[in-house]
Structure 1
Amino acid sequence: MTRLLLTNARLITVPAGTDDPGFIDGGWMLVEDGRIAGLGAGEPPSGMTADEVVDVDGSFVAPGFVSSHSHLFTSGLRGLGVTETLYGWCDSMLGMTAGASADDIYWSTLHGALDFLGNGVTTAYNFTDPLQSWERMVEGKRVGDAPLRELEYHTRQADACLDAGIRFVDSIAMDATVGSDDEVHDRFAQSVAHTRSLDPDFALGASIMGQVQWSPREDAAEIEVQAMRRLGVTNQAHFLESPEAVPLQQAKFTMYRDAGALGPDMMFGHFIQTTPEIIEQAAEGGASMSWQPASNGRLASGVALVPEMLERGMKVGMGLDDQACTDVSDPWQNMRMGMTMQRARTKDPLSMMPETVLRLHTLGSAEIMGVDDRVGSLEVGKFADFVVVDPRRPDVGPLWHPVRSYVLSMSLRNLSRVYVGGRLVSEHGLSTNRMSAEATVRVHAQLPQIAAELGHPR
């Protein structure tokens, strides 16, 4: 049994069952075999021993961030499609991965997962790049005739997350326009089986990448619901995101509703171009949403009505989306952008408070992903996934309200250490993973080569 003891910590625990952020000003936390074994205020109990004692000297110790909507394979595609909204940006960015091999996408995903870890994100809902590559949109639908890549193209993305050491829910597209219904289900089941064969302490579950928004199939929602029931998986759909063809997008909500998808296993990613009726029906059905403010601003998608959704009782998480549309996968930036967007929209500072966005980007995200029994807060029995954040390097001045200062004044500059399961995975932005250097070399070599082969401008 290995034991790690942290002392002199400003603990932010974000406990379940309360809106209190759980702040302890000067406390300790004990980790045993990768899980939190105890925590409290003041000095550790007399006689407590550990293999390693870390005096964090007044730094914040808080839960690792949870991104409830992520595309880790995009880490090497930042800065593309800057003049475009969603679908034009997809053409620019995902048009590149159309030429990627299973090896290319493995290293891109590994690079992205290590980037998340280095920025304090210890768990991610990860949308894998589908077996069917991105296609042009015609009248709000994908054409549906792109060729299908080998199953290894998906499984290597899951392998990369595992090798990086990030905890993840593996989100898999069904690619329902290729093959018979039986073939679609069998192919998806093979991907799910691979994910479930991986270490369950890291591969936290499998999920569907909902594709109704752009699928040419009128029964796409029914196909997804069948897979949800057969395999016991969740579903997160990119939905009501783009500012184009809004009435067409809104009309597709009934597909999920009528297929019986609405429930705790159904998440809507983005969920911006809503109506009061759509919000009400989603909330009453028990569905949740994942909010990506930095991405929504970058792509000019709009501002989701998150306070209204919370008021209706919807569960909400926060995600960093693509590194290619947040550019810097910074959870503090994401929280602040979300908070300021809502305040600017409502003209009410109470509509979104710092404590709220912190909870949404940790325990709230874990809740909608169905993994809050393991991650998202610093509570005894959960995985010891946490960040150490020093408010004096650089110094931000007196901490008049420490939790609010943590959200409003901290940044990646203050992030000194990241731990997953009580193991140091990043220190001052530098990965401890032995594959980190090779991932950098591979991404810098492989992606420009793909671009050259496809004739993409540099």
Structure 2
Amino acid sequence: MSLLVTHARLITIPTGSTDAGYIEDGWMLVEDGRIAAIGSGTPSVTADETLDVAGKFVAPGFVSSHSHLFTSGLRGLGVADTLYGWCDSMLGTTAHMTPEQLYWSTLHGSLDFLSNGVTTAYNFTDPLQAWESMVDGKRTGTASIRPLEYHYRQADGTLDSGIRFVDASGMDATVGSDDEIFARLQAEVEHTRAMDPAFALGSSIMGQVQWSPRANSAELEAEAMRRFGITNQAHFLESPEAVEHQQSKFAMYRDAGALELGLMFGHFIQTTPEIIAEAAARGASMSWQPSSNGRLASGVALVPEMLQLGMKVGVGLDDQACTDVSDPWQNMRMGIYLQRSRTKDPLSMMPELMLRLHTLGGADIMGVADRVGSLEVGKFADFVVVDPRSPDVGPLWHPVRSYVLAMNPRNLEAVYVGGQLVNRGGASTNPLAEEASAKLHELPAAIIPLRGHPH
């Protein structure tokens, strides 16, 4: 099956360039779910189906390089708290959820991302070990482990949504022997690797060194990266609490050799110049969540400085429980505004760069840029159709900049994954969408009797 997209304001985000790859009157040929050709003006090819977008934007689907899709039913919680208090509210709720409830919540969260133009996500699953409240930035690590089904059903929900994803599991390194810990992780990785590789793009570790009381937890994670050939993204230096304790954990990852293995730091806010320089020099990358960092009063990551040192940066939406609306345009604008407010320099974060970080940049740090993140021949045909006249934003003096600064989900007309329509005007084409919504709305009645009303 082939699809020819015509008369597009085409934004391609080409690899190896800082240019947005804008084509005023562009066309794109899709064959068997992948991009077969791109051009301008009158197409030189034909297809089974033609989609004339009549001057609307066609751009890569957004990539969220840091997401927790199981949180879709937990918006508006922990509003008066920073990270750890918010976690008590949000993860204190999921601690009472069953694997099936997590399946539907993850499915709903994934469909929510797709409805807002996010076609690929790095997805942290809720770990098998239940959440424990932090005391002085530390956990006891004594909570019990839930069955593997708890992870499997979250991965299943992500797959069934039709979003592309990298699946991340916590090692929960304080429960069981090392052999038992590796066996749990191996089972989780094998479950994901048995899925359709066109959608399950890879497996990863949810790095937990930041709050783990285990002294050699970084060594364990690095060994797992080598043993199973997987990546690792660690929530690190996020919260303004217990900063010196957090910073002391950097040496653990460094000494374990994890930086050279391509460790991703999620958030990476409470840094020092020395930490940034060493992380960049040793090959680590970071995922930046501007809207989440603002919502949780975490601070502003020094992204321009990191980029200047050659560190790779991607952008994530984090989750529905701490951004509330999964809006990548809001996320981009928040990032631009925060950096410019901090530096007093508009050149510190330009729209073209911000768009690249939320598409190809995210795919790059996730290790999937060969398949997603840009509209280039050979990659999956994951794209959005965005209408600048509905609502009308006026003349497009600088089209790419208007795309970043003036669009929002109301302008999002359609979302395609592999050349297949998955959402139009906010309505999902997934046959499970209606049931996922119904299941999500059952959660309060099921959870409140078990834990009380979360704050």
TM range (shorter): over 0.9
Question: What does residue range 152-171 of structure 1 map to in structure 2 within 5 Å?
Answer: 152-171=149-168
**1:440 and 2:441 aligned:** no
Residue 213 of structure 1: which of 210, 213, 218 is its match? 210
- How many angstroms does 1:106 deviate by? 0.2
Structure 1 distance, partners of 2:119, 2:331, is 15
The 8 Å contact of residues 90 and 454 in structure 2, kept in 1 or not, is answered as no
| Structure-2 residue corresponding to 1:12 | 11
The question of whether the paired residues in 1 share the 8 Å contact of 2:93 and 2:454 is answered with no
Give 1:128's aligned residue. 125
Match of residue 72 from structure 1: 69
Task: Please tell me whether residue 302 in structure 1 is matched to residue 310 in structure 2.
Answer: no
8 Å contact 2:136–2:241 — kept in the other structure?
no
- How far apart are the structure 2 equivalents of 1:244 and 1:454? 26
Where does structure 1 lack aligned partners over 5 or more consecutive residues?
none
| Matched residue, 1:35 | 34
Q: TM-score, normalised by structure 2?
A: 0.99
Post-superposition shift, 1:147?
1.2
Deviation, structure 1 residue 457? 4.8
| Aligned residue pairs, count | 455
| Aligned residue runs from structure 1 range 17-416, under 5 A | 17-45=16-44, 48-263=45-260, 265-416=262-413
1:230-259: CA deviation from partner (whole Å, max 9, x where unpaired): 000000000000000101100110000011
Change in CA separation of 1:122 and 1:176 when aligned onto 2, cut-off 3 Å: same
Q: Distance in 2 between matches of 1:395 and 1:67?
A: 27
- For the Cα contact (< 8 Å) 1:105–1:157, is it kept in 2? yes
Q: Which moved more, 1:131-140 or 1:307-316?
A: 131-140
Q: Which amino acid aligns with 1:392?
A: R
User: How far 1:142 sits from its partner (Å)?
Assistant: 1.3
Question: Shift of the alpha carbon at 1:451?
Answer: 2.4
8 Å CA contact 1:133, 1:148 repeated in 2: yes
Structure 2: how far apart are the matches of 1:254 and 1:151?
31
Give the drift of 1:418.
0.1
Name the amino acid aligned to 2:5: L
SS, match of residue 442 in structure 2: helix
Conserved? CA contact 1:23–1:403, under 8 Å: yes
Residue identity matched to 1:348: D
State how far apart, in whole Å, the 1-side matches of 2:196 and 2:430 are: 17
Residue identity opposite 2:169 in structure 1: I
- Which residue identity is paired with 1:78? R
* DSSP-derived class of the 2:409 partner: coil
Helix, strand or coil: the match of 1:321?
Answer: coil
CA distance in 2, matches of 1:353, 1:264: 30
Q: Amino acid of the residue matched to residue 32 of structure 1?
A: E
Conservation of the 8 A alpha-carbon contact between 2:73 and 2:443:
no
How many Å separate the matches in 2 of 1:73 and 1:429? 20
Q: CA deviation at 1:264?
A: 5.2
**C-alpha separation in 2, matches of 1:447 and 1:288:** 38
Shift of 1:85: 0.1
Question: Aligned partners of 1:376, 1:238: CA distance in 2, in Å?
Answer: 23
Runs of 4+ in 1 over 6 A off after TM superposition: none
Superposition deviation, residue 50 in structure 1: 1.6
SS of the residue corresponding to residue 89 of structure 1 reads helix
SS in 1 for 2:232: strand
Q: Deviations over 1:6-25 (max 9, x none)?
A: 11100000000110100000
SS in 1 for 2:66: strand
Opposite residue 14 of structure 2, the aligned amino acid is: P
1:58-107 CA-to-partner distances (Å, cap 9, x unmatched) read: 00000000000000000110000000000000000110000011001000
CA deviation after TM superposition for structure 1 residue 51, in Å: 1.7
Tell me, in whole angstroms, the C-alpha distance in 2 between the residues paired with 1:139 and 1:411: 39
Aligned equivalents of 2:261 and 2:346: distance in 1? 30
Secondary structure in structure 1 of the residue aligned to 2:254:
helix
Kept after mapping to 2: 8 A contact 1:78/1:327: yes
Aligned partner of 1:426: which letter? N
Matched to 2:41, the amino acid is G
- Aligned 8 A contact 1:195 1:206 in 2: yes
Deviations 1:147-190 (A, max 9, x none): 11100100111111110000000000001111011100111011
Q: CA deviation at 1:454?
A: 1.4
Local SS of the residue matching 2:166: strand
What residue identity is the alignment partner of 2:245?
Answer: L
Q: Is the 8 A contact 1:233 1:265 kept in 2?
A: no
Structure 2 unaligned runs (5+)? Answer: none
What TM-score do the two structures reach when normalised by structure 1? 0.98
Counterparts of 1:293 and 1:313 in 2: how far apart (Å)? 20
Segment of structure 1 superposing worse, 301-310 or 140-149 = 140-149
Secondary structure of the equivalent of 2:96? coil
Does the CA-based 8 Å contact 1:264-1:288 persist in structure 2?
no
CA contact (8 A) 1:66 1:121 kept: yes
What displacement does 1:322 show?
1.3
Q: Which whole-Å CA distance do the structure 2 matches of 1:57 and 1:11 have between them?
A: 11
2-side partners of 1:370 and 1:457: how far apart?
37
For 1:425 and 1:3, the matched residues in 2 are separated by 16
